[in-house]
Amino acid sequence: MPNIHTLAAAFLLTTASLTAQAETPWGEKDEADLLREARTYHIMFKSEQDAAAAKARLSAKSDKELFSAFQKLARAESKDPGSAPAGGDLGIVQEGVMVKSFERALFSLAPRTVSDPVKSEFGWHLIYAYDFKNTSVKSICTTSLAGSVERSQGTEREILFVSDSLRAASDFVQRISQIIGPEWGAPMKDWNGDLAFVQLLGEPGQASKRKALVHIEYMTPILSTAPLACRRSVRQEYEIDCSVNLSAPAGRYEYEGRAATGRLLVKHLNSEAERTKFASNTGFHGQLVTIACPRQVVTQAQSPGTTTPR
């Protein structure tokens, strides 16, 4: 059974301190943002030379002729069997879905223009952007959650149903504590200002290495692009080495609903290289080391980083 460790008073979270806006690092979009979308067409070639030659032919077309010429060329020459029969039509492409080189080129285009040749792991592309629009991330969060509520049942359905209204409740911290259960420690803040609870596994002092589970409630839902939905809570696993005073992230599981309910939207198990890279004893990592290794004294940072990727 998990050992419930009482956190030091310095790490405890007060309800009042939770009103500060949590940060959304690493370029992720939250419900306050807009998501860019583009009606997209492309032609894929085996070589840069083929793509450049096709671009030269298309450049000779007038604005009025360009779109139909692009579709005709896609049907005749594209190496993408999925989109070639439809004139290269990829449908609505949203930020965060395509490979980075393709996405950068696409969203730098003006409407109804063709890109220069773009390299990806699949080949060389010419990209045509028919038009662009912005969609509210909040509307995506609301719509996807409503669909999940309809597909769920029982206690999970009840939690999903109140997932958005729960955050605005004055007793948010207390209600989350009740839902996730007494095995989790007292509430605290993580490195981004989000609500966090810690559960330590094993007895203090019995081994130099321990494991910790961290439950986090995102103060603002964060967009996930595959599938298109919003993450509201996450369970993270940490490995703590008391012999060297380091905490390393081992994996994370992000959920659509509050209190780790609803669809699992993200599952990531860190490689050994990632664990080493993000191991630290500063910031939130330092708090984990302090509560997991009560006889150890953290003397210096082992890593310049204090955050781990979501």
Give the model's pLDDT for residue 207: 66
Torsion of CA 233, 212, 11, 9, to 10 degrees: 130
81 with 160, same domain: the answer is no
Tens digit of each residue's pLDDT (9 = 90 or more) over 192-230: 889 999 998 876 555 688 999 999 999 999 999 878 899
Tens digit of each residue's pLDDT (9 = 90 or more) over 229-256: 999 999 999 999 999 999 999 999 999 9
Residue 126 belongs to some domain of the structure: yes
69 with 187, same domain: the answer is no
Q: For residues 78 and 122, what is the distance between their CA atoms, to the nearest angstrom?
A: 12
- What percentage of the chain exceeds 90 in pLDDT? 62
Alpha carbon separation from 272 to 29, 159, 216, 269 (Å, rounded): 28, 35, 23, 10
119 with 201, same domain: the answer is no
Q: For residues 188 and 18, what is the distance between their CA atoms, to the nearest angstrom?
A: 9
Residue 142 belongs to some domain of the structure: no
DSSP codes joined into one string, the chain: --B--PPPGGGPPPTGGGGSPPP--TT--BTTSEEEEEEEEEEEESSHHHHHHHHHHHHTS-HHHHHHHHHHHHHHH-S-TTTGGGTTEEEEEETTTS-HHHHHHHTTSPTTEEPPPEEETTEEEEEEEEEEEEEEHHHHHHHHHHHHHHH--HHHHHHHHTHHHHHHSTTHHHHHHHHH-TTS---EE-TTS-EEEEEEES-TTS-SEEEEEEEEEEEEEEEEETTEEEEEEEEEEEEEETTTTEEEEEEEEEESSGGG-S-EEEEEE--HHHHHHH-BSSHHHHHHHHHH-TT----S-SSS------
Alpha carbon separation from 129 to 37, 78, 105, 106, 119 (Å, rounded): 10, 17, 10, 7, 17
177 with 258, same domain: the answer is yes
| Phi and psi angles of residue 72, each rounded to the nearest 5 degrees, phi first | -65, -40
237 with 257, same domain: the answer is yes
| Phi and psi angles of residue 43, each rounded to the nearest 5 degrees, phi first | -125, 130
| Domain-ending residue, one of 135, 163, 181 | 135
43 with 21, same domain: the answer is no
255 with 178, same domain: the answer is yes
| Domain-ending residue, one of 135, 162, 179 | 135
67 with 23, same domain: the answer is no
Residue 297 belongs to some domain of the structure: no
Q: Which residue has the tokens 């330590």?
A: 200
Residue 1 belongs to some domain of the structure: no
181 with 199, same domain: the answer is yes
Q: Domain span at residue 219?
A: 9-30+152-292
Are the CB atoms for 90 and 128 separated by under 8 Å? no
**Residue 295 pLDDT greater than 80, yes or no:** no
Residue 188 belongs to some domain of the structure: yes
**What CATH number does residue 76 fall under?**
3.10.50.40
Model confidence at 163, pLDDT cuts 50, 70, 90, reads: confident
Residue 16 belongs to some domain of the structure: yes
38-52, 109-123, 153-167: least confident range: 153-167
| Domain-ending residue, one of 72, 106, 135 | 135
Count how many domains the chain has. 2
Give the model's pLDDT for residue 193: 85
281 with 194, same domain: the answer is yes
Q: For residues 129 and 107, what is the distance between their CA atoms, to the nearest angstrom?
A: 8
Q: Which residue has the tokens 């012999």?
A: 243
Residue 62 belongs to some domain of the structure: yes
Give the model's pLDDT for residue 87: 97
Give the model's pLDDT for residue 28: 84
Q: What is the pTM of this model?
A: 0.72
Give the model's pLDDT for residue 16: 30
Give the model's pLDDT for residue 201: 84
Give the model's pLDDT for residue 18: 40
- List, in order, residues 6 or more apart from 39 with CB less than 8 Å away: 91, 92, 93, 129, 130, 131, 132
75 with 164, same domain: the answer is no
Q: For residues 69 and 307, what is the distance between their CA atoms, to the nearest angstrom?
A: 49
**What CATH number does residue 281 fall under?**
2.40.128
122 with 165, same domain: the answer is no
Q: For residues 115 and 141, what is the distance between their CA atoms, to the nearest angstrom?
A: 32
Mean pLDDT of the chain: 85
